[in-house]
Amino acid sequence: MAGPADMPAATLTPPRDRPAASAGARALLEVRALSLSFATSDGDLNVIRDVSFSVAPGERVGIVGESGCGKTVTGLALLRLLPARSARLSGEIRFEGQDLATLPERQMRAVRGRDIAMIFQEPMSALDPVFTVGDQIGEAYRAHFPADRREARARAIAALAEVGIPAPERRCDDYPHQLSGGMRQRVMIAMALICRPKLLIADEPTTALDVTVQSQITDLLQRLSEATGTALLFITHDLGVVAETCTRMITMYAGEVVEDAPVDAALTRPGHPYTSGLLRSLPGLSARRGALPSIPGRVPSLLAMPPGCRFQPRCGHAAVNCASAQPLVERAPSHRVRCCRARELTLPGAVR
Amino acid sequence: MSLSSKSAVIGRRLVQAVPVLVLSTFIVFALLKLVPGDVAVTLAGDNASDARIAEIRHLYGLDQPFLVQYGAWLWKALHGDLSHSLLSSEAVVASIARCLPHTLLVVVLAMALALLIGIPLGIAAASRQDSWLDGLVMTIASLGVAVPNFWLGMLLVALFALDLNWLPATGAVSLSQSVGGALSHAILPACALAAGGIAEVARQLRSSLVEILHSQQVRTLHAKGLSPSAILWRHGLKNVSVNLLTVISLLFNRLLAATVVVEAVFAIPGMGGLIVNAAIHRDFPVVQGVVFVMVLIVVAINLVTDILYNLLDPRIA
């Protein structure tokens, strides 16, 4: 097969084995009824339930939700990076036809970093402090492709240049502690993209960075995703970032997907009262009048999930039917909502 | 790291070692003065006249002010002269040269055992955390810490020397006389001494490895698609090497102190016997000399440790 070894290291190249992304093409990633629970001393603790969504090649999808809604755990579950002894996974993670949920560990290892890469929230603690960044980037390449140290180093330097690090030949020999937070996140991105993965999972990649650096990193991710055709699964609680970079937005609440819609539709015509509440509570996106609206109440505890709609106790639109289990319903083409009133309600979105 | 910063580190540590040396010898000197009893009385023998005792005091400079005595000792020590034993009048340097090799052989052997056994045990336990193997290793480690080394020494003598007759029970042979003889004499005391060291190395290595293996940086390595063995051997061990080095250097210093008891059990004519005997008979120059050499060794070990820290961890400068 044609690997990155055949391609010049310094230029942006599309992922392996793939013609240009086309609309309506088979999904790259298709998650079906994914549930996850952790075995604890108090019994199994269900953290995500019936999560289904798909990502097309080259697509940029945002997963939003407040802390504890299961979005980070979903990202880790896709790569099976959760502790094997306590995490119980069910459902399917179809990636290019194979089910990652049941793939043997050895084959799963070949997928990690090569087909699906991941970057994390804390670039400070996500890098190994006792190896140079060049070494760590080259290692990601050498884990999947035969290359000697010299070639790995050359590729690492090219990757550093690609993510906008000045003087990459010198920076290559720096240790993580010698770099700023933004630079470290760039290193993480360079490391994640060096094998030209088809999907990059970015778990709150800008949360730990200061505001000016945040937008640089977001722009970089969008630019690289566009240039290389790498699909992006952007896990964040920053709706502004999703609005800017993503084409689709998945809203999670209390371990469930409550809405899955194209970004424009999600932002202007949200179908789920929770999405609407999130949007209206944003100072930047809501109308400038009066007090900032907020969602009353708090997220239910994992141990005491309400039956039926999990948002019902906090929802201003709750009706009799909300007490029964809520499936994801099609509200409009490619706009699915986990709410029985989705078709009748017209909810306020963000004023743009 | 550049060469100049390395030599700067060495220079800084050497300068820091000077007050440590002065202070520790001063404290020992002062303590010896506080000990009741008078070496001059001992030296003068029974029924000695006061005049005779005073004469002896003067002869050894014991009638001079405390600080003058200490200053004179320090000045000579700096020139390599640790003066003479008050009792045997052998040069202290010569006594130490005779005893130190026996002690060092036991300590180095014990250290080697602690590392050769402790490191694999720690790695095995950490890489199979919470398995039966982990439980077994940690139980053995707890035992190793709990068992007193002199008691273990006696058990070893009873089994391997008296019952099985494989190894000599007591005494020591110097390496220059016979390597085999020296080792066969040193192996039992080294085992007795090493038990605690094995336990400590295994426990510390396990806990720091487990911490690293659950860290976010290791999660990144998994996300890169690295195999568990590459993560453990390449990244895990390099990350815990600083912790391990700390354990090793502290352990070496502690073994050096612990030999006193073990040497007594095995009747080894080492530094332990030398200093205990000298302290009992108020033979100040010998006590002082032994302490001086021990402090020198500890300072040297700490210096080497500091240099190695710099090589192992780029964050330390």
Residue B129 burial by Cβ neighbours in a 10 Å radius (0-12, 13-18, 19+): middle
Q: CB B281: neighbour CB atoms within 10 A?
A: 18
Calculate how close chain B gets to A248, using CA atoms only, in Å: 25
Select the residue of B227, B312, B314 nearest A109 (Cβ to Cβ): B227
Q: What is the pLDDT along chain A (352 residues), one digit of tens a residue?
A: 344 444 444 444 444 444 434 444 578 999 999 999 998 887 888 899 999 999 999 999 999 988 888 889 999 999 999 988 888 899 999 999 899 999 999 999 999 999 999 999 888 899 999 999 999 999 999 999 999 999 999 999 999 998 989 999 999 999 999 998 889 999 999 999 999 999 999 999 988 888 888 888 999 999 999 999 999 999 998 888 898 899 999 999 999 999 999 998 888 889 899 999 888 887 765 555 667 778 888 888 888 888 888 998 888 888 888 888 888 888 888 899 998 888 888 888 776 4
Number of domains in chain B: 1
Are A59 and A231 in contact by the 8 Å Cβ rule? The answer is yes
B128 touches chain A (CB under 8 A): no
B251 within some domain: yes
Identify all chain B residues contacting A177, using CB atoms and an 8 Å cutoff: 314-315
B129 within some domain: yes
A110 touches chain B (CB under 8 A): yes
Closest CA to A93 of A205, A16, A199: A199
CATH number for B249: 1.10.3720.10
B26 within some domain: no
A118 touches chain B (CB under 8 A): yes
Instruction: Grade residue B4 by pLDDT with cuts at 50, 70 and 90.
Output: low
Select the residue of A79, A128, A139 nearest B217 (Cβ to Cβ): A128
Whole-number Cα distances in Å, B282 to A43, B100, B296? 68, 20, 22
DSSP string, B122-159: HHHHHHTTTSHHHHHHHHHHHHHHHS-HHHHHHHHIII
Q: Could you tell me which chain B residue has the CA closest to the CA of A191?
A: B224
Higher-pLDDT residue of A45, B178: A45
> pLDDT tens digits, residue range B225-282?
999 999 999 999 999 998 999 999 999 988 988 888 888 888 888 888 888 888 888 7
Contact B238 A131 (CB under 8 A): yes
Calculate how close chain B gets to A289, using CA atoms only, in Å: 43
Are A156 and A141 in contact by the 8 Å Cβ rule? The answer is yes
CB pairs under 8 A between A and B: 70
Which range marks the domain in which residue B140 is found? 92-283
Query: Model ipTM?
Result: 0.85
The fraction of chain B above a pLDDT of 90, given in percent, is: 22
Calculate how close chain A gets to B15, using CA atoms only, in Å: 28
Select the residue of A117, A139, A175 nearest B314 (Cβ to Cβ): A175
B72 within some domain: no
Return residues 252-271 of A near B (CB < 8 Å).
none
B41 within some domain: no
Select the residue of A112, A139, A175 nearest B223 (Cβ to Cβ): A112
pTM of the model as a whole: 0.81
Amino acid in the structure at residue B312: L
Identify all chain B residues contacting A80, using CB atoms and an 8 Å cutoff: none
Select the residue of A125, A144, A175 nearest B217 (Cβ to Cβ): A125
Instruction: Grade residue B8 by pLDDT with cuts at 50, 70 and 90.
Output: confident
Strand, helix or coil for residue A276:
helix
B143 within some domain: yes
Strand, helix or coil for residue B120:
helix
Residue B92: predicted pLDDT: 86
B211 within some domain: yes
Mean predicted lDDT score pLDDT of chain B: 85
Contact B235 A128 (CB under 8 A): yes
Q: Is the dihedral of CA B139, B103, B15, A175 positive or negative?
A: negative
Contact B223 A131 (CB under 8 A): no
- Distance, in Å, from the CA atom of A143 to the CA atom of B221, rounded to the nearest integer, reads 10
Identify all chain A residues contacting B313, using CB atoms and an 8 Å cutoff: 129-130
B2 touches chain A (CB under 8 A): no
Are A279 and A270 in contact by the 8 Å Cβ rule? The answer is yes
Q: What is the mean pLDDT of residues B151-159?
A: 80
B51 touches chain A (CB under 8 A): no
Residue A320: predicted pLDDT: 84
Q: What is the mean pLDDT of residues B101-111?
A: 91
> pLDDT tens digits, residue range B136-152?
888 888 888 888 888 88
Higher-pLDDT residue of B158, A270: A270
Identify all chain B residues contacting A113, using CB atoms and an 8 Å cutoff: 223-226
Residue A21: predicted pLDDT: 40
Q: Which domains does chain A have, with CATH numbers?
A: 29-246 (3.40.50.300), 256-337 (no CATH)
Identify all chain B residues contacting A188, using CB atoms and an 8 Å cutoff: 220
Q: Could you tell me which chain B residue has the CA closest to the CA of A116?
A: B223
- Distance, in Å, from the CA atom of B196 to the CA atom of B186, rounded to the nearest integer, reads 17
B239 within some domain: yes
Identify all chain A residues contacting B223, using CB atoms and an 8 Å cutoff: 79, 81, 112-113, 117-118, 120
